[in-house]
Amino acid sequence: MKRNVYLKMMPLDQAREKFLSCLDWIALAGSETIPTSEALGRVTAKVVLARYSSPSYHAAAMDGIAVNAQDTYGATQEHPLTLELERQAFWVNTGNPLPAGCNAVIMVEQVHQPGEGLAEIRAAAFPWQHVRRVGEDIVSQELMFGHHHRLGPADVAALLTSGVFEVEVLRRPKVAIIPTGFELVDWREAREKQPGPGAIMETNSLFLASLVAQAGGEPVVLDKVTDDFEAIKAAVEGALATDAHMVMLNAGASAGSKDYSAHVIADLGEVLVHGITVIPGKPSILGRAQGKAVVGSPGYPVSSWVCFDQFIAPALAAMQGQAAPQRETVQAVPARRLPSKLGREEFLRVHLGRVGEQVVATPLKRGAGAITSLTRADGLLRIPADSEGLEEGVPAEAELLGPRDRLENTLVVVGSHDVTLDLLGDHLKRLDPRLHLSSSHLGSLAGIMAIKGGRCHLGGTHLLDPETGEYNVSYLQRYLKGVPVRLVTLAMRQQGLLVKPGNPKGITALADLGREDVVLVNRQAGSGTRVLLDYELKKMGLDPANIRGYDQEEYTHMAVAVQVLAGGADVGLGILAAAKALGLEFIPVMEERYDLCIPQEYWDDHRVVALRQVLASPEFRRQVDALGGYDVSPMGTIAWEG
């Protein structure tokens, strides 16, 4: 079979327009009549008229006496009027029908009883005072709801009150989801053991099904199909023969030799769009067959999310007579320059938080395979196709993925990564459910520069000054002149050598890095760990030129650990948590101080106050201690102020 080549990719808006105009979505959805009591969340298919009025009788709206207003005229504070009970006045409770001849109610608080069978009043009642008249709320035959109204809780109760016991609603859009790929393993089969190389846990179908359900549709996940044209075609034909309105193939959308989605859709119907100038989501396929929509979403989770978000969600909305969902936006400044590929609109997932006057956007992982870039995202920066990227500090529009008030409750942290920061975020949320910690791991120095640029509330830093052997202070003095800050110690942290299980090379100390048979994986220049390593090497008189792998750099502790595990290196310098995560051995070689650098400006900000509270909590201290590799005794102390 010929490979798919996207000779002409279509801009996003044009592709959406083409897809949305290719079908009559309301007609495709069709309607059904269901009991009103089960109609919550459903959408009216046509105008609904009331059958009953409400109230259906004149009802007392207060507890008291029912009267004919005329009988009360003349009653005043000075000239009270006495009425005869059971003839001129009748006791009623709220909701009771008014006795014949009555047209007003006087509240019990305003009624005196001078004697048996008598009621004294000191003010006249006006006609229909404290009475709910027939039809006051609903009049029979009035329009309750027009077309395409989504029924909420009050709507359902109102319909029943108006005597509408069955209602005609649009059918829930039914979407058949077919995962494809020979490499897929059902997630249920991965309980005991993580699938080996080449096998991928099939999770997209659940992801897409949840998105469909959230959008008011009804997902049906069909069996996964291997990469075989006939098998995929049979699966799509089968799905088209059901009452599903839309069929969604997942994966096999791209140009691989085994990517059949586009061929299958073309064979059964028509491919309207294949290839969109968007990233992630480029290979999305939009088509139709047998009067139904058929979509091929890319295999990477974020790509398939973009495909859902941009094409399927608006189509599901259209099938429910609704406008396409719109996200709120905010002007945000990128925390650093964000280059982007010309000719593609990029959906960049970002952390968002207000720091001082501005909302800061810090980018998350960009890969389309990184589902955590969605789980962690507060928003999206959409970098237009005709832009080569966004400039640091220049405001751009960001779409919010969460509630707006989250911006005010997000503590923005930039700097070196440490697992205790994740734990800190967890404790913050438990302290105050509104709070949220967003942490960008760009290295210690980047954190300090972000403070300088007003782009974070605090930075995590562990920078050794090789001249003095002192941590952090000299860097702050050098880079944060004129920015008053406090340096609060998080913990003393062990740095050690990460080696493969069993330590095959018999590495015991830093001096082993000079061995001919040992390959190092290093950290990037400017990172605290790199500074520490260089400092120790210098002390030992070990020349980096004599260390194999010294030039091989990674950006995080975890990336170093991965290199060691994968065999790209024999050893790396890192923290215990990284070794533990990948089952590596850890040989402690030194201790360093990890501090939080907090500008005075934010010291009393509610987010920072909460953070200080967490640092003072014995429970947090205990949990960090239990992680291993930390000395928590100096936690929360102010190491320096300036």
| Interaction site with ligand LQZAQKY5 (CB under 6 A) | 179, 181, 183-184, 200, 202-205, 250-256, 259, 280, 282-283, 298-300, 303, 368
CA terminus-to-terminus distance, the chain: 69
Angle of CA points 191, 197, 200, to nearest 5°: 55
- Report the distance separating Cα 418 and Cα 415, nearest Å: 9
Site for ligand MOO in 276-295 (CB under 6 A): 279-282
- Report the distance separating Cα 6 and Cα 14, nearest Å: 16
Q: What is the DSSP letter of 312?
A: I
Least distance (Å) between residue 204 CB and ligand LQZAQKY5:
3
Least distance (Å) between residue 181 CB and ligand LQZAQKY5:
5
Question: Of 280 and 460, which CB lies nearer to ligand LQZAQKY5 in the complex structure?
Answer: 280
HSE at residue 417, side-chain half, CA atoms within 13 A, is 18
Least distance (Å) between residue 7 CB and ligand LQZAQKY5:
12
Two structure tokens written together for 608: 């920072």
- Report the distance separating Cα 564 and Cα 587, nearest Å: 14
Q: Is 524 helix (H, G, I), strand (E, B) or coil?
A: coil
Q: Which residue type does 230 have?
A: E
Find which of ligand MOO, ligand LQZAQKY5, none residue 362 binds, CB within 5 to 8 Å per kind: none
Q: What is the DSSP letter of 172?
A: P
Q: Which residue type does 126 have?
A: F
Site for ligand MOO in 342-401 (CB under 6 A): 368
Find which of ligand LQZAQKY5, ligand MOO, none residue 184 binds, CB within 5 to 8 Å per kind: ligand LQZAQKY5
Least distance (Å) between residue 300 CB and ligand LQZAQKY5:
5
Q: Is 18 helix (H, G, I), strand (E, B) or coil?
A: helix
Question: Of 280 and 379, which CB lies nearer to ligand MOO in the complex structure?
Answer: 280
From the CB of residue 91, how many other CB atoms can be counted at a distance below 10 Å?
16
Q: Which range touches ligand MOO (CB under 6 A), out of 93-101, 260-268, 296-304, 424-432? A: 296-304
Question: Of 145 and 347, which CB lies nearer to ligand MOO in the complex structure?
Answer: 347
Residue with tokens 């938080």: 353
Find which of ligand LQZAQKY5, ligand MOO, none residue 200 binds, CB within 5 to 8 Å per kind: ligand LQZAQKY5
Contacts 24+ apart (CB under 8 A), 426-432: 427/614, 427/617, 427/619, 427/620, 428/607, 428/610, 428/611, 428/614, 431/610, 431/613, 431/614, 432/610
Find which of ligand LQZAQKY5, ligand MOO, none residue 179 binds, CB within 5 to 8 Å per kind: ligand LQZAQKY5
DSSP string, 349-387: EEEEEEETTEEEEEE----TT-THHHHS-SEEEEE-TT-
Least distance (Å) between residue 183 CB and ligand LQZAQKY5:
5
Find which of ligand MOO, ligand LQZAQKY5, none residue 26 binds, CB within 5 to 8 Å per kind: none
**Secondary structure tally for the chain: helices H, strands E:** 17, 38
Find which of ligand MOO, ligand LQZAQKY5, none residue 54 binds, CB within 5 to 8 Å per kind: none
Rounded to 10 deg, the angle between the 419-431 and 618-627 helix axes is: 150
Least distance (Å) between residue 308 CB and ligand LQZAQKY5:
13
Among the listed residues 19, 145, 260, 300, the single contact to ligand MOO using CB under 6 A: 300
Cis peptide before 501 (omega within 30 of 0): no
Least distance (Å) between residue 433 CB and ligand LQZAQKY5:
32
Question: Of 300 and 602, which CB lies nearer to ligand MOO in the complex structure?
Answer: 300
Among the listed residues 173, 179, 298, 425, the single contact to ligand MOO using CB under 6 A: 298
DSSP string, 441-476: E--HHHHHHHHHTT--SEEEE--B-TTT--BSHHHH
Question: Of 80 and 339, which CB lies nearer to ligand LQZAQKY5 in the complex structure?
Answer: 339
Among candidate residues 488, 492, 543, the one with its CA nearest the CA of residue 514: 543
301 in contact with ligand MOO (CB under 6 A): no
- Report the distance separating Cα 49 and Cα 144, nearest Å: 5
Find which of ligand MOO, ligand LQZAQKY5, none residue 204 binds, CB within 5 to 8 Å per kind: ligand LQZAQKY5
Find which of ligand LQZAQKY5, ligand MOO, none residue 181 binds, CB within 5 to 8 Å per kind: ligand LQZAQKY5
Two structure tokens written together for 75: 């009653």
Total residues contacting ligand MOO by CB under 6 A comes to 8
Question: Of 217 and 301, which CB lies nearer to ligand MOO in the complex structure?
Answer: 301
Least distance (Å) between residue 231 CB and ligand LQZAQKY5:
14
Least distance (Å) between residue 40 CB and ligand LQZAQKY5:
31
Residue ranges in contact with ligand MOO by CB under 6 A = 279-282, 298, 300, 303, 368
